[in-house]
Structure 1
Amino acid sequence: MDKEEIDVEKTTYADEKLGDHFDPTEHLQEDDSPIEEVRVTLSNMDDPQMPYNTFRMWTLGLFWTCVISFVNQFLYLRQANIQITYSVCALLSLPMGIFMAKVLPTRQFNIFGYKCSLNPGPFSIKEHFLIGTMVNCNTSTAYAVDIVILQKLYCHDDKPFVAGMFLVLTTQVAGFALAGAIRRFLLGEDDHGRMSRMRYFLLVAGGMFCYYWLPGLIFPTMGTIAWICWITPNNIPLAQMTGSNGLGVGVIALDWAAASLIIAPLVTPWFAQVNILIGFVLVTYIMVPWAYFTNLWDSKNYPILTAVLFKVNGSAYNQPMVLRDDILDEEAYLSYGPLRMDSFFALTYGVGFAGLTATLVHVILHNGPEIVARWKSARAENEDIHSRLMRVYPEVPDWWYGLLFVITFALSMITCVVWDYMPWWCLIIAFIIAIIFILPVGIVQAVTNQQPGLNIITEYAIGYMLPGHAIANVTFKTYGYIVNVQALQFASDLKLGHYMKIPPRIMFMAQLISAIISCIINLGTAVWLIDTQPHVCTQQGYPFTCRNTNTFYSASVIWGAIGPARVSGSKDGAIYGPVQWGFLAGVLLPLVFWLASRKWPNVTWLKYVHWPVLLAATSNMPPYLPYMYSNGLFLGFIFAFLLRRHRYNWWSRYNYLTSAALDAGVATSGVVIFFAIQVWGGNFPTWWGNPSGINPTNADAMDHCYYGQTNGFGQ
């Protein structure tokens, strides 16, 4: 269960009973959930008469789905992107729902024999939860949108909108069908004298809205204060180590969007952040400097950190020179020369391979007995109090999920074959990979709030099976990776709905409808930005520099067009073969530490070493930069460790509200800045704190450090 989501519900309804119609003598149970977090947070009683499938719920749920889908996709393409989360909508939709309950007419309408009212009574916790659910499963933008952007901008293959729509819909919704298959396995204070949570939220969000005009428009340099580099700004090695576009040693980020982007420091458990810190230091401050300054793989020919691809001599790799209709021309490749990347990029792939196998081994060793026990429990239909209370509501028939899976799989097959995304057999393998990893990835995410991604292994696997095909590579990656992610997201929401006593059928409809709407808005927003913003996804198009999309494109060239055999194998000048040892390292490291913890059970720190998180810590670099990790971890130390330990009352009351409020303030401010100023071609005058006007081709390097090369930093 997602701690942030539970805390919001607990926070919002700390003193609220289950409804005006509830009779405690009718449903009181002697027992409760065996899970402590559930016991202390959620009620073991229910009122089946409480309104939930209401006009208010659908109106607010669809409204927030549309808002979040547009805003998060809009922010995704910006230099420093941030998401508006479930918590923001949960908090803001509460007063909106209460207001609607006060002003809407209460008289009943008869529609085809079904009596309903626009206002069936007080705004209920179930309505509020369903609104949040519709938003929560769509806060992350649709991954497949990057494929559409890649084709339009880089491949100049402008497929019809309907092709992109089907691609986005099927990759997002297919996971919902799989969630239905695993749902049965997974389900099994006084305010006096203190500021109200809503007032606190509004004050913090308002403060951040005003503050963000500084790093977002007026003074962007304050978002990356590379003060060590300023000592001698023209010292290239110093810039590589201490600049914001280098390893970021000492960089101070006074920009919440950048500092919170990777770690989610106020939400992620401290023990997980410690593992991230160890992995981050190991890769960023030990392995990468060693590789660069020893000139491993000719590292000094390239920037120390970038997702841009190069020729052997350090010049930019011109991908169209070796591609014909997005397929590798082998003769042209041999003539043009092999592909090279910076050592940081290469090493993070190796560490990512290790993180993947470590996930499987860690889950087997640490969670194997629990998995077997839960499987037996699920088969024996052992029920806790929450399961018994849910008996009153009709379950979603298995054939609903089965039919949805058949429809989405058929549409996926049509999409891939008709519009030539990839061969039909690739789709089958992608679904198999997604299904195999659902449980291991889900367990790691539940414990650490960090999700090991399948994007690396999927692009690597299809690169060997279908070398030379860039679009097929990213399509396979999207189906194999995002179907898994979406299945876990939907399953998580179903589990929360189970504990909140939400009727399963309305959960099904709310999740499915909001997912479809969100996909359409995501794609429409991205296409609109591409068509209206000049130089989008380039440095000249700042702030729409598309960090993630540029890395997505580089990966499509590395593992798709060129292929792993020519990158990490032994074909046509490949030199990155050692990164494949990461697979073996990921198997051995968790095993060694598990054996050590068994031999020395009193050494408690051994139990907290979480290799999947530790090894996956740097998987987002590039496109993200080291200073984003270091600043996020610093905030995590303050909030997740110091305040939680020494100011627990404040932490338990305001910590998650603070995170949600800061997110809301930044997101709202970023949208207002764009539509009020930047969409009309306006910008703040150029000065030392806003140097982008001097050199718009290097808008990413606002830290006043000289790296020797400007091509590709931060991409």
Structure 2
Amino acid sequence: MASTQPVPARQDSEFTDDIEKKVYASSDEKPDYVDTTTYSEDGLEELRLKQAEELEARLASGAADDSEYLVKDAHDVSIKVLSTRDDYELPVVTFRMLFLGLGFSAFGSVLAQLYYFKPQTLSVSESFLLIVIYFIGKAWEKCLPSHGLFRYINPGPFNIKEHGAALIMAFTASSSATAIQVISVQSLYYDNQLNPGIAIFTLLGSQLIGYSFAGLLQEALVYPSICFWPSVITPATIFQALHFDGGLGSKRTKIFWILFAGIFCYEIIPQWIFPVLTGVSIFCLVDHTSSVIRNVFGGANNNEGMGLLAVCFDWNFIGSARLYTPLWTQLNQDVGIVLTYILMCAVYYGNIWHGLNFPFMSQAIFDIDGLFIPCTNITEQYNQTAILTDNKFDPVKYAEVGPAYFAATNAFATISHVLCFYWKELLPFFRMLNPWNKTVTMTHDEHYTAMKRYEKVPKYWFLALLAIAYGMAQATDYTGKSNFTWWQLTVILFLSSFFTIAYCTTSAILGYSQFSTQLDGFYSMIGSYMAPGDPIANMYAALYGSQPTVQGIALLGDLKLGQYLKIPPKVNFLVQVMGCIVGALLNYVMELSIVSQQRAALLTVAGTRLWSGQNAQSFNSNAISWGALGREMFSPGKTYFMVPVALAIGTVPPMIQYALHRKWPRNIFLKNFNTSIVLQYSCDLGVGVNTQVNTSMTLGIISQYWIRNRYPRAFTKYNYIVAGALDGGTQVISFILNLALFGAAGPAVPWWGNDGKYSADRCLAPA
């Protein structure tokens, strides 16, 4: 490792002059990839790494001036906020790492699947796993002997690479896979109990396709510094603070634990004792009876309202995303949210698509003849099963029942188009697919340079994995009675690969990945034309369309985290594949047990205090509405024909903006304004709790603009560690409260401060 001794401070301009091809996330004037025929690859990369280490030493010692602390772009984040340090001799694949990784993979996957069928949904967060694994790893280090044969069980200090590899394995497994929804819905509603082997291979195939996509994309979306993956900066910072900063003697570590403990204690108040802190709305406190005030200014309950001008004091909803998401990404999101306020009110109160007949916010579908009862917000829902014969659409029955309608504010759709602005970042990927390509590209990233000592994962590993996963998917489609043919699966996966590239690019560069419901709807719409009238085939279209993209983003982020932590690539491959397999197997075991034992409770609308089929019911309703009714709702001349038209329209604004940017390339607004994000966020508030929106918008501007520019030293040292501490403490106490009080592991425990007479913000409660 090159020397890290301090050297005399140098100005940013001198640093830039030495590295003439340095790349910034906000600039497209200099390429991130340089042809190696012009420059000496090893010499230039080693020079950059040495300068990054020297800068890191100055920043750590306090010898740097404010201009050096200032974070201006993705490259600055990667070398000023994070260390390029690599302790090469540290063991990674140890018994301790495998035990913790597999143990928490089992814990996370079982828990995620258990709470999929609970009234109170709970997810296992990355910050929660990071903290718990750290505590147990350090206890292991201190309590077990490390001499003699015990050195294989306890190989000394619990190091950053063991910790990181165990977390990546556990977090890969800690979710309820989309395939579980398909399996459980087929069992519950279509009397199709899949063979265990078919079910497991369906789970593995759908997830490993996403991992294969991620592996093939890493050359373009993991190695370069411009792809800095904002969402993983916070966990990477926590890792380095815990393992590199010298324990509790470090100021950053002290701040982390103080804030962690403080938010842990504080969150009991808004989450249980006084949930009014979830959303303080002056308008709702003044008037508890107006549905208009609730729709516009309320939002502390699910599907309540837009939360305009409300203030949130609950970090569980605010979250740290605005502390690490780049400023221009946030500003584009904010513009889209402002449009949402206007569009939702205009569509609903303008009675577009008969909006006034239905609830202001809802994900259900309704019968136009269902009477809207004033002051109750109740409308009769659409009788979905009455239009099916043998689980397929029956036009005769449909003619008797009549058309279906969405609540008006849930009818917007759009698609992001990133090819115009990010074609340079995608170019290495397309070059890589060309077997005759002779051009070798050099990736400018100091963390990548430090990782070059480790052997890469061969590309054919991912290609072989993709072929195996594709074979699994084709086989299980036919043996699992999916009604989804080989060509339909192939077309869906081709589309999925395109969207995976596009959305992974925005996640890597802009930190933007809020798209899952839009993609589900898109693939369901495509499926409704591929297999009209077939809800089961429609579920498989959504599964193989969106799951690879969701999985690809998660796994690419972990690959970048592994690069920041200097985990050898083959070890990263090992722990991610192990996490996928463990998660799939235990997801299925838990689903099989719960569905067989709690079938009656899961099939009821209300469920019980311990079990609920609400998630499966929602997934099935979506499949019926798109699969059975897709052509009746979205074809030309039908009520919602503008929804598919909007997909085509959504590709036009980025092209217009790019043309204007080419004409005026120095205009900062045209360079950074992102029409895809604006359009995506123009339909962002149609579901969920919304009172945190205004608070998080303000927090993001304070952090990413005011503190970053006015106090660069404090921002570089503490911004991301504060984000991690607040998230970690909140998620640990949320986990405990869900288990103990909110009905996730038993009956809910009420409190006089949250009696349910009104919404949490004291607005008129939605029925």
TM range (shorter): 0.7 to 0.9
Ranges in structure 2 where 5+ consecutive residues have no aligned partner:
1-44, 53-74, 225-240, 371-379
Corresponding position of 2:475: 414
Q: Provide closer, same or farther for how the CA distance between residues 310 and 234 of structure 1 changes in structure 2, counting only shifts above 3 A.
A: same
Kindly state the Cα deviation for residue 375 of structure 1 after the two structures are TM-superposed: 5.6
2:634 is the alignment partner of 1:568: yes
TM-fit CA distance, 1:679: 6.2
User: CA 1:493–1:667 in structure 2 vs 1: closer, same or farther (change >3 Å)?
Assistant: closer
Aligned counterpart, 1:25:
none
Q: Is the 8 A contact 1:275 1:614 kept in 2?
A: yes
Change (3 A) 1:442 1:103: same
Instruction: Tell me what 1:381 maps to.
Output: 440
TM-aligned CA distance change 1:92 to 1:151, over 3 Å: same
**3-state DSSP of counterpart to 1:137:** helix
Distance 2:604 2:732 in 1: 22
Q: Closer, same or farther in 2 for the Cα pair 1:465/1:109, shift >3 Å?
A: same
Distance 1:195 1:108 in 2: 33
2:691 aligned residue:
627
2:455 and 2:570 in contact (8 A); partners too: yes
The 8 Å contact of residues 328 and 469 in structure 1, kept in 2 or not, is answered as yes
Cα deviation, residue 445, structure 1: 1.1
Quick one: distance in 2 between partners of 1:619 and 1:146?
A: 25
Q: Separation in 2 of the partners of 1:45 and 1:705?
A: 52
1:246 equivalenced with 2:310 (yes/no): no
The whole-number CA distance in structure 2 between the counterparts of 1:84 and 1:646 is 36
Cα pair 1:29 1:44 within 8 Å, conserved: no
How far apart in 2 are the matches of 1:681 and 1:68?
Answer: 19
Q: Which residue of 1 aligns with 2:389?
A: 324
Amino acid paired to 1:705:
C
Deviations 1:137-185 (A, max 9, x none): 3455422333344445555655466554433332222222233333344
1:292 maps to which of 348, 358, 362: 348
Residue 325 of structure 2 is aligned to residue 268 of structure 1: yes
Which residue matches 2:89? 49
Displacement, 1:98? 4.1
Aligned partner (choices 340, 349, 368) of residue 405 of structure 2: 340
Q: Residue 570 of structure 2: SS of its match in structure 1?
A: helix
| 2:658 is the counterpart of 1:594 | yes
Q: How does 1:222-241 map to 2 (within 5 A)?
A: 222-241=277-296
Partner Cα distance (1:307, 1:47) in 2: 51
Match of 1:616 among 680, 684, 687: 680
1:476 corresponds to which letter in structure 2? Answer: A
**Larger deviation, residues 437-446 vs 120-129:** 120-129
Q: Residues 674 and 43 (structure 1 numbering): CA distance in 2 closer, same or farther, change over 3 Å?
A: closer
Counterpart code for 1:568: F
Task: Tell me, in whole angstroms, the C-alpha distance in 2 between the residues paired with 1:76 and 1:651.
Answer: 38
The 3 A distance-change label for structure 1 pair 395 and 290 is closer
Distance in 2 between the 1:99 and 1:591 partners? 56
Instruction: State the distance in 2 between where 1:705 and 1:331 align.
Output: 44
Deviations 1:341-379 (A, max 9, x none): 111011x23xx3xxx2xx33xx22212244336766995
Cα deviation 1:515-544 (Å, max 9, x = unaligned)? 222233445556666656956995665797
Residue 310 (structure 1) aligned with residue 366 (structure 2): yes
Matched residues in 1 for 2:83 and 2:252: separation?
Answer: 21
Of stretches 129-138 and 145-154 in structure 1, the one that deviates more from structure 2 is 145-154
**2:217 corresponds to:** 182
* Separation in 1, partners of 2:655, 2:134: 48
Match of 2:763 in 1: 705
Closer, same or farther: CA 125–464 of 1 in aligned 2, 3 Å = same
Do structure 1's residue 133 and structure 2's residue 168 form an aligned pair? yes
CA 1:98/1:379 → structure 2, altered by over 3 Å: closer, same or farther?
Answer: farther
- Aligned counterparts, 1:108-187, within 5 A: 117-138=152-173, 140-151=175-186, 159=194, 163-186=198-221, 187=223
Give the aligned partner of residue 500 of structure 2. 438
Summarize deviations over 1:198-254 as a string: whole Å, max 9, x none: 444444333334334344444444434444134232223232222320222233333
Equivalence map 1:66-145=2 (5 Å): 66-73=106-113, 83-94=123-134, 96-107=136-147, 117-138=152-173, 140-145=175-180
The correspondence for 1:62, drawn from 78, 81, 102, is 102
Q: In the TM superposition, what is the alpha-carbon distance from 1:416 to its structure 2 partner?
A: 1.8
Residue aligned with 1:147, SS: helix
Instruction: Give the Å deviation of 1:582.
Output: 1.5
Corresponding residue for residue 231 of structure 2: none
**Residue equivalent to 1:713:** none
- 2:373 corresponds in structure 1 to none
Instruction: Give the whole-Å Cα distance in 1 for the aligned partners of 2:535 and 2:283.
Output: 41
Closer, same or farther: CA 195–684 of 1 in aligned 2, 3 Å: farther
Q: 1:328 to 1:90 in 2, by over 3 A?
A: same
Distance 1:135 1:407 in 2: 23
Q: 2 CA distance for matches of 1:676 and 1:95?
A: 22
1:289 CA displacement = 1.1
Which is further off, 506-515 or 391-400?
391-400
Answer whether contact 1:130 1:510 (CA < 8 A) is retained: yes
1:545–1:250 Cα change, 3 Å: farther
Query: Secondary structure of the equivalent of 1:286?
Result: helix
Q: Relative to structure 2, which stretch is displaced further, 650-659 or 376-385? A: 376-385
The count of aligned residue pairs is 654
In the other structure, the counterpart of 2:37 is: none
1:208 aligns with 2:263: yes
Distance 1:152-1:231 versus aligned 2 partners, 3 A rule: farther
Q: Is the 8 A contact 1:85 1:660 kept in 2?
A: no
Cα distance, 1:702–1:544 mapped onto 2, change above 3 Å: farther
Partner residue of 1:13? Answer: none
3-state SS in 2 of match to 1:340? strand
The CA distance in 2 between the partners of 1:676 and 1:185, in whole Å, is 45
Structure 1 residues 77 and 610: alpha-carbon distance in aligned structure 2, compared to 1, 3 A threshold: farther
Counterpart Cα distance in 2 of 1:326 and 1:627: 40
Distance 1:399 1:375 in 2: 16
Q: What is the rounded CA distance, in whole Å, between the counterparts of 2:195 and 2:682 in structure 1?
A: 36
Work out whether residues 431 and 479 of structure 1, in 8 Å CA contact, stay in contact via their aligned partners in 2. Answer: yes
What's 2:728 paired with? 664
Amino acid paired to 2:213: L
Check if 1:279 corresponds to 2:344. no
> Aligned residue for 1:403?
464
Deviates more, 1:31-40 or 1:189-198: 189-198
TM-score, normalised via structure 2 length: 0.75
Q: Which residue of 2 aligns with 1:491?
A: 556
Separation (CA, whole Å) in 2 of partners of 1:540 and 1:618: 34
**TM-score, length of structure 1 as denominator length:** 0.80
Q: 1:214 to 1:390 in 2, by over 3 A?
A: closer
Q: Which residue of 2 aligns with 1:655?
A: 719
Amino acid at match of 2:402: G
How far apart are 1:305 and its partner, in Å?
0.9
Cα shift at 1:302: 0.5
Structure 1 residue runs of 5 or longer lacking an equivalent are 1-27, 111-115, 711-715
Would the aligned equivalents of 1:133 and 1:511 in 2 still touch at CA under 8 Å?
A: yes
Match of 1:7 in 2: none
Equivalent pair of 2:198/2:480 in contact (CA under 8 Å) = yes
Aligned partner of 2:419 among 364, 367, 374: 364
Segment of structure 1 superposing worse, 227-236 or 331-340: 227-236
Greater displacement, 424-433 / 152-161 = 152-161
Q: Give the whole-Å Cα distance in 2 for the aligned partners of 1:520 and 1:221.
A: 41
Amino acid in structure 2 at the alignment position of 1:246:
G
**Structure-2 separation of matches of 1:124 and 1:538:** 49
Offset at residue 548 of structure 1 (A): 6.2
1:299: how far off? 0.9
| SS of structure 2 residue aligned to 1:437 | helix
Q: Which amino acid aligns with 2:305?
A: G
What amino acid is the match of 1:609? F
Work out the CA distance in 1 between the residues paired with 2:450 and 2:345.
58
Following superposition, the deviation at residue 513 of structure 1 comes to 0.6
